[in-house]
Amino acid sequence: MTDKYAVIGNPISHSKSPLIHSSFAAQTGQDLTYNIIEAPLDGFRQAAEAFRSAGGRGLNVTTPFKLDAFAYATDLADEARLAGAVNALKFEGDKVFANNFDGVGLVHDIVHNLGFSITGRRVLLLGACGAARGAILPILAQKPDRLLIVNRTESSAYALAEQFSACGELSASSYSALGASPTAFDIVINATSASMRGELPPVHTDVFSPECLAYEMVYGKGLTPFLRLAQEAGAARLADGVGMLVEQAAEAFVWWRGVRPETGPVIAALTVRLE
Ligand code: NDP
């Protein structure tokens, strides 16, 4: 019988996940279907239950259900537990296994696709919600020289630094303190949703070193205000989150199917499509 997977979110019609997973399945010869489920904002559990009852094997979870999926899981992987959010579920009997591959996907994209080592580098992470939280552990695992978290709501950045303090060298700051004592970073990651609305987090050009990688987690928005600022600052490399999207999908695919797809051709095809 053909195995069923889906991505659940609201809104979800824009999702590229069906395209990505269909490409992976075709490439690896896996017999599966992958659809989209738009659940009502208060209807995650019901929609997930219905999918499971119909034989569903796994779900990708996107906005706004990453916390609902966290509550729904029976078995949380460390990445999901520490991120406080879930982006992939696997159903086996009564068990609901949960994971979060966003951070691993980000690091894979930076290190392997873009060729930027994180080890020994100065990393600035903008944002302190789900996407930023998920990135912290995988970044720390690469042993950066320092990881600084900055968020508009300062208390969230300080809370994250405190929560992950046992896992590596990290600290927090406000945007105003960052502006007051300019410091350059080797990798600056925009994990805020500011670019979704054409906004710019209040960072100065000083944060980008000349060799800097400026990484925008949002994808498909072209030269966002953040990437434009980095370009003006002379950052060596600009990247958006399309590679992260495909890499986190690949991690979920391996977790579900036990087969690793090739991501390069899928990233290339999706990049062209988004342009
Ligand atoms: P949330 O909406 O939960 O996070 C919002 C974050 O952005 C908060 O830290 C918020 O600060 C900050 N923020 C919003 N607007 C501004 C602004 N104008 N200036 C400064 N900070 C701002 O989103 P997620 O954490 O889930 O995701 C962040 C982005 O990453 C999303 O836009 C999403 O598209 C992208 N993403 C991409 C993925 C990929 O695979 N490429 C995967 C996951 C996410 P405050 O706390 O003060 O409100």
Q: For position 275, what pLDDT does the model report?
A: 85
pLDDT tens figures, 157-209: 999 999 999 999 899 999 999 988 879 999 999 999 999 999 999 999 999 99
Contact between 97 and 70 under an 8 Å Cβ cutoff? The reply is no
Whole-prediction pTM: 0.96
List residues bridging with 147 in a β-sheet. 123, 170
Q: How far is the CA of 201 from the centre of ligand 1 (A)?
A: 10
Q: For position 1, what pLDDT does the model report?
A: 82
* pLDDT confidence tier of residue 108, bands split at 50, 70 and 90: very high
User: How distant, in Å, are the alpha carbons of 10, 184, 192, 230, 257 from that of 216?
Assistant: 22, 17, 9, 10, 29
Q: How far is the CA of 196 from the centre of ligand 1 (A)?
A: 8
Q: How far is the CA of 131 from the centre of ligand 1 (A)?
A: 7
* pLDDT confidence tier of residue 45, bands split at 50, 70 and 90: very high
**Closest to 78 measured CA to CA, from 61, 100, 59, 60:** 100
- 32-38/146-150 β-pairing: unpaired
CB distance 86 to ligand 1 below 6 Å: no
3 state DSSP class of 272: helix
Cα 261 to chain center, whole Å? 18
The 88-92 sheet, strands edge to edge = 32-38, 3-9, 56-61, 88-92, 95-99, 75-76
pLDDT over 80 (residue 91): yes
CB distance 243 to ligand 1 below 6 Å: no
CB distance 263 to ligand 1 below 6 Å: no
- 122-126/185-190 β-pairing: parallel
pLDDT tens figures, 24-42: 999 999 999 999 999 999 9
pLDDT tens figures, 214-251: 999 999 999 999 999 999 999 999 999 999 999 999 99
Q: For position 243, what pLDDT does the model report?
A: 98
* pLDDT confidence tier of residue 269, bands split at 50, 70 and 90: very high
pLDDT over 80 (residue 79): yes
